[in-house]
Every structure is written in structure tokens, then in C-alpha cells.
Structure 1
């Protein structure tokens, strides 16, 4: 009887750990969620003391950003409820990047975080962390660029166009245009200061008597004038000879 009793006792001893192990496994494999609070003491602001500063890739630059993270890789966020003053309550159901253990929240600039509660799944955690805050960045204001006034060059008025002197065309009726008088030196300028010498003096030709209508021709009138001039010349010559003789006689 002793041998069977030992066998039963050994079987019972081995069965107890198996039962305990079987009962413990479902506690970690369950799909149920549970609630945890943020680890930091609230209230907090994004620029307050004790808050780390970092980057929030999904938060606009004109908002304060908040980055929450779970402490283990086996746990993920299901729902995150946060409350800001001002700004009120927000419920976040979209998480990441890079995984669902990260959560990003935006708030008005300078708002105070007064509450943060999360529903999580997987593993077993007692809290989650505020990893860091991302204070809003002031807008970059560039000074207005003042361009110097554009100075237009003075308008230059073109001088009036002077028409070229017209060139006189020679008459087309066959008459030649007389050439301008030139000086004896060939310079094209008439001499105005030269005095005529005795040898250059021109003896005026006696005017011809007008026709009396007696029926004599121009040739006959000219011959009479020539004859008269010859007679006058003969008288003058004769008078000169006679005067010379008289002077000779007085001298003797």
C-alpha cells in the first residue's frame, strides 16, 4: 500500500504547478485594456521647469506640442485623454510615429496641462511618461525690404531736324546758268582794291550818232564818224608841229 500512496502523492505534487501555470498565462495574453495615469506631477506648461524640450514632428509650429510614451515595448496606447487650460479636453486615438507606444498632442500656446489619462493594452505598466514638450516657435518676421526709388534718366529732346538746302537745278529750257565772276588771280573772289594803271585805262568809244532817218545805213554812219575822228587827229598833229616851229624861232 505504501508504493501506490507515494505515486499518488508525487502526481498531486506535479499537478499543482501545472494548474498554477495554466491559470497565470491568460493574465498576460488577454486583450483587455486598462487605465494608467501620467507619471509626472501636474499641472505643467510646455516651457515650465522640469519639462524636457524636444521635437514633435506632427505638431504645427504655432502650437505647443506634448510627447507621451509608454515605458515598455509590449504596451501600446488605445486611448489618451488630456485636459488643458485653456483648450479643454482632447481625446487622442491615433498614435505614432514610430509606433503606437508614442502619442503626440497639440495645445494652445502657453496652455497648462492639468490631466492626462491613458487606456493601454499589452504587458503590465503602472504609468506612462511625458517624454518632452515642444514649445511653439514664434513666426519669423523679416523686415520689409525697402527698394530705392527708381530714378528715370532725364528725357533728352532731340534737336529739330534742319532741312538741307535745296540744290538749284539748271533750267531745262536749254539756257546755261552764268558762272560766278572770279578774280584774275583765280581765287574765285573779285578784286576790289586793285587800282587801274595808266596802261589799263580804256578810252571810251565815242557814241555813235543816232540815225536821223535820212535813209543812211548803219555802215554809212560809222564811216562818217571815223572820218571825222581822222580829221580831228590831223588838226591836232598839225597844230603841234606849228607850235614846235614857233618855239624854235623864238629860241633862235
Structure 2
């Protein structure tokens, strides 16, 4: 009889451990969040919120647009990576990953300021006049979307624009509601960069 109790107790302990692992998995599993639908089709020049005073845009080259994306709410966790699609001035689709050190675009992730070290911010510099056509983000938590927080429209002709083609905004972008953005500023050093260019973002 004691041996049977021992076997039963061991089986119950194993079952409990398995159940704990099952319930714990979603807490650290990555998920995918889409770009806010209202921000699809935006250009940097036409977006409703422009903040060229953002210190992360200090190294923005002439002829380039600055883009700042934000992951709202604490339950969303951190940005792990972003995949963004644009239409350039020639009408071609360009896919950009953030962070990525293999492409020519400056991009990096950045944490919140203060004591909160969550990686809630993503920055990207593209040739001026590109239109944002879609995007998704791999995140460490759960969220139904991430937002384009603000932009800094570049001047001049972008690297992939045809000679004489102006960078004309084609779609008025929406602005982010205060409740959909994280209140703290991104004042920490970039957590990932595009080769040696990440520092040029701030």
C-alpha cells in the first residue's frame, strides 16, 4: 500500500508540473502585432504629428524621413523586431526590418526613459517621400496593434527618387491618441542599431 501511495503522489506531482509549464508558456512566448490600420498609407510629410525636435532624429541626413514607432501598454511587453513595407517614389515596394544591420537604412530599437527599461520605441530613417504601406511587429507580450507615433519629414530628393521628382505627401496621416502612446520619452541608448549608424539616431 505505501508503495502505491508513493507512485500516485509522484504521478500527481508530474501532472502538476506539466500544468504549470502549460500555463506559464504564454507569459514569455512572442506574438505578432499589426501596424495601426489608421497609420497605413502615411507619409512622413503628411502625418499628423511631426516632431523633428526628437533627439533621436538629430542624425537624420538631408533628403531622409524619420519615423518613430511605439508599442503601447505594459502588457504588450517589448519590441523584438519590426517588418515594415513602403512604396518608394519609383512605385516599388521596399521591405525594411528593424533592427537590421545588413540594409542601408539607419534603424534601431530604444527603451523607455527612467526606471522603465521596456523596449517600446523603434526608429527608422528612409529616403524622403516614401509611403508606409504596412507593417507587423514581433513583441514579447500581447497587443492588438503598434503605432506610428511621430515623424520628421526630410527635405530634398531621397536616394531612391528619380531626378527632379519631388517628395510629395500623398496621404494625410493620422496622429496618435494620448491613450495609445507610452508617456515616457525614449531617452536611453539604442538597444540595437544598424551597424555603426544606430548612434546617428540620437
TM-score, structure 1 as length reference: 0.41
Query: If each structure's strand is expressed as a fraction of its own residues, which one has the higher value?
Result: 2
TM-score, structure 2 as length reference: 0.50
Structure with the greater relative contact order (CA < 8 A, sep ≥ 6): 1 or 2?
2
